[in-house]
């Protein structure tokens, strides 16, 4: 493995650690928890949407992100067009924070008073290509569910 790939792997590792720490802080902020688990059917639905969207070119990356410099990134189904850096995701949150979208289930689209914030942390991926190494950044996938969809995601594995 060449020095550029080793350096990119180190940077990707640091980005994953930073992303997991931010995930943990966010979970504590909303009195939640994090842990390892097999994604439920709702999580699998969103991960498939993200995967297929990236492969089809329907989901892009905000212009701050570079495959040569992995950093923590974010994707949410209510702003599905892009994987975003922290700054761009903060703007996206601010746009919906006082709208009805903030109380609409991301899976069934019904309005709900009680929303269950849920998320999946994806690791970074480094590709050791012949020309130069490239990285897909770690992606925090977060979404809000109504109680019914939240329960179906937890029980049907």
Q: Is 27 among the residues that bind Zn ion (CB under 5 A)?
A: no
Structure tokens at 112: 């709900």
Among the listed ranges 16-24, 53-61, 72-80, 98-106, the one in contact with Zn ion (CB under 5 A) is: 98-106
Choose which of 85, 92, 124, 136 interacts with Zn ion (CB under 5 A): 85
Choose which of 50, 105, 139, 140 interacts with Zn ion (CB under 5 A): 105
Q: Which residues contact 45 (CB under 8 A, 6 or more apart)?
A: 107
- Contact present, 18 and 136 (Cβ < 8 Å): no
Q: Is 115 among the residues that bind Zn ion (CB under 5 A)?
A: no
Tabulate helix, strand, coil % of the chain (nearest 5): 45, 20, 35
- Contact present, 41 and 49 (Cβ < 8 Å): no
CB of 53 to Zn ion, least distance (A): 17
Please report, as ranges, the residues that interact with Zn ion according to CB under 5 A. Answer: 62, 64, 85, 88, 105, 107-108, 146, 149
């Amino acid at each position: 493995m060449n020095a550029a790939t080793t350096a990119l792997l180190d940077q990707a590792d640091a980005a994953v650690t930073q992303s997991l720490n931010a995930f943990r802080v966010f979970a504590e902020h909303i009195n939640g928890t994090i842990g390892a688990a097999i994604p439920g059917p709702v999580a699998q639905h969103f991960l498939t949407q993200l995967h297929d969207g990236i492969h089809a070119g329907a989901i892009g990356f905000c212009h701050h992100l570079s495959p040569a410099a992995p950093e923590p990134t974010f994707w949410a189904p209510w702003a599905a067009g892009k994987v975003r850096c922290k700054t761009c995701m903060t703007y996206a949150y601010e746009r919906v924070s006082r709208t009805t979208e903030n109380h609409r289930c991301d899976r069934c689209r019904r309005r709900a008073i009680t929303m269950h914030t849920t998320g999946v942390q994806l690791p970074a991926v480094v590709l050791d290509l012949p020309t130069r190494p490239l990285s897909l950044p770690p992606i925090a996938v977060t979404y809000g569910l109504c109680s019914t969809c939240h329960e179906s995601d937890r029980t049907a594995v």
